[in-house]
Structure 1
Amino acid sequence: MRRRLIQSTLAVVLVVIAVFGVSLVIVETRTISNSAQERVDSEALRLASIVDSRILGDENITAAVFKNQVADQRYAVIRIPGRAPIEVGTEPTGDVIHSTAKGEEGETVTVEEPRSSVTREVGRTLLIIGAVALLAIVAAVLLAVRQANRLASPLTDLAETAERLGSGDPRPRHKRYGVPELDRVADVLDGSAERIARMLTAERRLAADASHQLRTPLTALSMRLEEITLTDDPDTVKEEATIALTQVERLTDVVERLLTNARDPRTGSAVSFDLDEVIKQQLEEWRPAYRSAGRAIVSSGKRHLRAVGTPGAVAQVLAALIENSLMHGGGTVALRTRVTGNQAVVEVTDEGPGVPTDLGARIFERTISGRNSTGIGLAVARDLAEADGGRLEMLQGQPPVFGLFLSRTPLKRPPTTEEDGPTVR
């Protein structure tokens, strides 16, 4: 492209120079020739006038008298009736410019000038025109190179930006070039880069969330299947298989929930459900893991509570809290239910050291963890709780107490954060 721009600019300049240069040469050549002829005519008339005045004054008319009256490189012949011709200067050879004038006394004056003087003057004029044309060509080349670089360099940058986007580097450059069309292309590429960055972030987040959220159901399912392989009691096999099928359904719900959150994290499918059933399901699912660790998990508090939310999402939130207590806590884990205002609260606590004081509320941020874990579980749990209008909070750091707040009546408008604060029992 750079070469095409330079070539096209030079072609335009050369055409302009050719058209106007040839016209200027023709005009200047004619002007110089006409000017030379006019000078010779004027010289002949002037000499004829001098001859007339000398004849009338009966003065001498000789070549010496007219020597200083004739310009250099010119030749003059004065013919007076009854006298010999008087020659002034050297007669030129070759092509000449001549003019003849007649005086009032019958004399004639002929002046000649070699045409070579006109040729030399035309040559000097052509040299000046050629120098100006050469300067114009040089200036055009410099301007074409500058303009080509101004247009080609941004295109090269834009091509590199597009290549970076294709290679998975979605960082926008926010670089503009002062050319509206190129700046528009840069705006589109930067917008695409930002969208691609958001898409990649969402994909990475989905992968991390899926890895974290699916690990626990798969581990529990694996434990159930191991118990089935270790027993010969048909009733036990049937019971464990039934629980395993329930866990498979939960696993399917986890996958669907993750995909839904990936599309729109604020999309919920809240319904009124029995909170006791979700808590009972979690206790049955986690008891084998706690028995293996030599610990216990119990529930207490108000019974027969109904809450508004997505049962699968609530189960995932509680599973994240129970898993954190298993991994990072100690002693018995207790799930307590209570009512505050129009909300049902599920508190999860254990007898471990709790959350480090330097973390505080940052415990719900992604990648924040106090025990070298992924730092994803609590962040995902809070997102799941908020998707259905609830909220997840850390009520106490040491010993740890986490509270899941769920509305007891369907919400007619988006929930606000100005709710009655929970109390810790």
Structure 2
Amino acid sequence: MRARLTLLVAATTVLVLLAFLVPLAVLVRQVAQDRALGRADDVVQSIVPLAATGDIGALRLTVEAQTVPVTVFLPDGTVLGTPATPTPAVLLAAAEHGSLTVTTGAGQELVVPVVGASGATVVIRTLVTDAELTRGVTRAWATLAGLGLTLVLLGLLVADRLARTIVRPITELSAVSHRLARAELTARADPAGPPELREVAGALNHLAGRIQDLLAAERERVADLSHRLRTPLTALRLEAESLRDPDESARVAAAADQLARAVTAVIQQTRRADTPAAAEGCDATAVVAARVAFWAVLAEDTGRALHQELPSGPTPVAVAADDLAAALDALLGNVFAHTPDGTALSVSLSARPGGDVSLTVADDGPGFPAALPTGRGTSGGDSTGLGLDIARQIATSFKTSPPGTAGASIHLTLPAPPPS
């Protein structure tokens, strides 16, 4: 923008200067010509009275004293002053007794006939050369060009200063907007520049403050809701401990502990929402194996065949263990919620070239509906519509089987951890 403003001022200045300097240059040349012709005419007019009296001696002295080349042709053929032969203009003036100004290859020729006391015609001739006609024009043009160049440079300097005062606030506004995009909600713009930019800076500051207030209110609500869940979780854990079947008690207690960890994670995330989260990682094999083992009990109770394919060794991924567990729980929970009892399902985990890891959850149910809902919080069934979105957030690639086909499958690509 700064360069464009400077270029605009430069173009405008050049056009204005051309509109003034070109006519002025033509006028300077015309004035130089008129001045040279006027000086030559003054010399000729000073000789005319002597030529009319017929005093040859005085006429000779006057002609020879002139600094301008003057030639006087007498009726008897005598030539006084600068030697020259009679030109067609001289002969025509002598015949018709009229003054002439003729343009020749050497310059402007002035011819004035004078009728003497004896009735004979004396012709006075002077030649104004092209050098005389343009004397001082080149210097004047150079001065005008230098003046024009100085004005253009001055205009560029002023335009650059003006553009800087406009561009600097815009650059600062852009920097503040990028800081806000990086979750630096304390960033504020300094109102500066033209009134319009100051108004934009004020609006951006108001927007940042409003966002900060909304996020703070949202964190308070989430934290409050999370704390409220503590009481039913405690009651659930006590109920699990009171069960007579040790296996059933352990399974329900593990579910309560998992829910408690999820609630704790939500609280921690709301507390550090203003700071970028550090990159976390986990062993995907261990996390998937633990969650499959948890859901295997429910699969056995509902008559579902649960098949798993996991690597024999650790599979590191750049996803937090809690996030991966929550995503897998959401996908497996969808299978149990939206397929009839006895439907087989499978979970597979495999490493891909380049370090990424592929996670697939599939079932033999009716598949996805033809009109698969899209968007966070949108569901085609009796659910929150957040299950697929939770899984989508941890993956670099998220694919589902085509809607309307038998059997549903979801493929996630988990990012590899950064090189150490």
Give me the TM-score of the superposition, normalised by structure 2.
Answer: 0.47
